[in-house]
Amino acid sequence: MSLPIVTATRYVLPLREGGSLPGVVEGNDLGTYVIKFHGAGQGPKALVAEVIVGELFRRLGLRVPELKRIMLDPVIGKSEPDYEVQTLLTNSAGLNLAVDFLPGSFGYDGSAGNPGDAGMAKILWLDAFVANVDRSWRNTNLLVWHKNLWLIDHGAALYFHHSWMSAEKFATLAYDADDHVFSIAAPGVPAVADELAAAITPELLTEVIALVPDEWLGEGDRERYLGHLLARLEHRSAWQPGGAS
Ligand SMILES: Nc1ncnc2c1ncn2[C@@H]1O[C@H](COP(=O)(O)OP(=O)(O)OP(=O)(O)O)[C@@H](O)[C@H]1O
Ligand SMILES: [Mg+2]
């Protein structure tokens, strides 16, 4: 199993609200995508986290825009005048990540798209599991589209991989739920956590880790992601918001 692959045919515009300067592009399948570049600041590891976390969350019933691999020839941006964009495109030749563009979506502000108490608790627990530090009120990385809540931008999760912190350390690493957009749902976490934890099997994790393209990984990385995530699952009393189940 691998993510579908498309080729970028037109660079439409940069998304300046994103710190990594993602862009909007058209694909050779006529789709419109947000492209996240392997040549951006955090490098390909941010894309690895997007795939593992996004595909895990999708399989656990959350809405995540479809993810594809996208081939980029930097020449498609040659008429883009911005030097920063040009450099990013040049540094990102080859395989990048495409996120299905949700036209007309807007950032979650607490009203439309509210997932309810259990839904909030579920998202909070999952973000704590993958150590996603990028879901605060300042930057929710939640979009409302057709009245539903969509989760985006998981590139900051799994940050153990930047220095390859040991699995033992990551297993019990605390999570600051106070900063999370759904911190209010913490007391409801123990009621939803058992079911989520039971659904995260070694097979499911192996399946989502297998979707990461070889191009973004070092040797042995797949085994390391699996080991770290299984270790964290096993020690969830150490990091679970709202206390142990
Ligand atoms: N699939 C999408 N459909 C529509 N708009 C999107 C989509 N993905 C991202 N955006 C818009 O682009 C912005 C930047 O995207 P994203 O958060 O993925 O980038 P980032 O560089 O990782 O950002 P951050 O600054 O949060 O680290 C989002 O806040 C959102 O407004
Ligand atoms: Mg973002």
Per-residue model confidence (pLDDT) at position 17: 87
Q: Report the nearest-CA residue for atom 7 of ligand 1.
A: 101
What number is the average pLDDT over the span 24-35? 98
pLDDT band for position 243 (50/70/90)? confident
d(CA 92, ligand 1 centre) in Å? 18
d(CA 135, ligand 2 centre) in Å? 8
CA dihedral for 101, 105, 107, 111, sign (positive or negative): negative
d(CA 180, CA 172): 19
What are the pLDDT digits (tens) for 103-123? 999 999 998 999 999 999 999
d(CA 122, CA 134): 16
Task: Please say if the pLDDT value at position 1 is more than 90.
Answer: no
Task: Please say if the pLDDT value at position 44 is more than 80.
Answer: yes
Mean of all residue pLDDT scores within the chain? 97
Q: Report the nearest-CA residue for atom 14 of ligand 1.
A: 18
Which ligand is closest to the CA of 16, given by its number?
1
Query: What three-state secondary structure class fits 13?
Result: strand
What number is the average pLDDT over the span 8-35? 96
Q: How far, CA to CA in Å, does 65 sit from each of 82, 151, 155, 219?
A: 28, 8, 14, 29
Among 48, 51, 136, 152, the mutation site with the greatest number of ligand 1 atoms within 8 A of its Cβ is 152
What are the pLDDT digits (tens) for 51-94? 999 999 999 999 999 999 999 999 998 888 999 999 999 999 99
Task: Please say if the pLDDT value at position 131 is more than 80.
Answer: yes
> Is the Cβ atom of 141 under 6 angstroms away from ligand 1?
yes
Task: Please say if the pLDDT value at position 18 is more than 90.
Answer: no
- Which amino acid, one-letter code, is at 236? R
> Is the Cβ atom of 101 under 6 angstroms away from ligand 1?
yes
> Which residues are within 8 A (CB) of 141 and not within 5 positions of it... i.e. 6 or more apart?
134, 135, 151, 152, 153, 154
Task: Please say if the pLDDT value at position 26 is more than 90.
Answer: yes
Q: State the DSSP string of 130-186.
A: TT----SSSS--EEEETTEEEE---TTS-GGGGTT--HHHHHH----GGGSTTGGGG
Per-residue model confidence (pLDDT) at position 170: 98
> Is the Cβ atom of 136 under 6 angstroms away from ligand 1?
no
Q: What percent of the chain has pLDDT over 70?
A: 100
Nearest to 7 by CA among 95, 90, 135: 95
Which ligand is closest to the CA of 31, given by its number?
1
Cβ(49)–Cβ(156) below 8 Å: yes
Per-residue model confidence (pLDDT) at position 13: 95
Task: Please say if the pLDDT value at position 191 is more than 90.
Answer: yes
Angle (nearest 5°) at CA 43 between 71 and 177: 120
Among 12, 16, 17, 47, the mutation site with the greatest number of ligand 1 atoms within 8 A of its Cβ is 17
Task: Please say if the pLDDT value at position 244 is more than 90.
Answer: no
What number is the average pLDDT over the span 13-23? 92
Angle (nearest 5°) at CA 101 between 73 and 129: 100
What are the pLDDT digits (tens) for 192-205? 999 999 999 999 99
Task: Please say if the pLDDT value at position 245 is more than 90.
Answer: no
pLDDT band for position 232 (50/70/90)? very high
Ligand 1 atom with minimal separation from the 134 CA: 26
